[in-house]
Amino acid sequence: MSTLKIKKGDTVKVIAGKDKDKEGKVIAVNKKDNTVLVEGINMVTKHTKPSMANQQGGIVHQEGPVDISNVMYVHKGKATRVGFKMDGDKKVRFAKSTGDVID
């Protein structure tokens, strides 16, 4: 399985869909489905039954998954593509626009 270019904690910009041009932080990455959860993006309404964890139940607003191809990494306030290169014997991500190592 290939390595994904977006990780949990990254700031990303949505480049397609109803939330286009919005930015947010990645909450979770689903490698199997190639989707990400971004805080405040693709908000969906979920109806929950009362349970032991949630005594009240009712309507809950939460983030829905966004395809990873519809988000772009934000580096220094600008959306950029992400690449991989070898830094010594370590594989690192870098921003293609500036060449800066991300992590």
2 located within any domain = no
Is 35 within a domain?
Answer: yes
What is the rounded CA–CA span in Å between residue 57 and residue 81? 42
The Cα–Cα gap between 90 and 21 comes to 33
Q: Could you tell me if residue 1 is inside a domain?
A: no
Domain that holds residue 32: 11-95
- Per-residue pLDDT at 103: 76
For 72-101, write each residue's pLDDT tens digit.
Answer: 999 999 999 999 999 999 999 999 999 999
Q: Is residue 34 part of a domain?
A: yes
**Measured between alpha carbons, how far is 86 from 70 in angstroms, rounded to an integer?**
27
Q: How many Å is the Cα radius of gyration of the chain?
A: 17
Q: What is the pTM of this model?
A: 0.85
> Which CATH number does the domain housing residue 15 bear?
2.30.30.30
Domain total in the chain: 1
> Amino acid letter at 98?
T
Whether residue 21 lies inside any domain: the answer is yes
Q: Is residue 18 part of a domain?
A: yes
Residues 6+ apart with CB under 8 A from 84: 3, 5, 91, 92, 93, 94
103 assigned to some structural domain: no
pLDDT given for residue 54 in this prediction: 84
40, 43, 82 from 101: Cα distances, Å: 27, 32, 10
In this predicted model, what pLDDT tens digit does every residue of 46-66 receive, in sequence order? 999 999 988 888 999 999 999
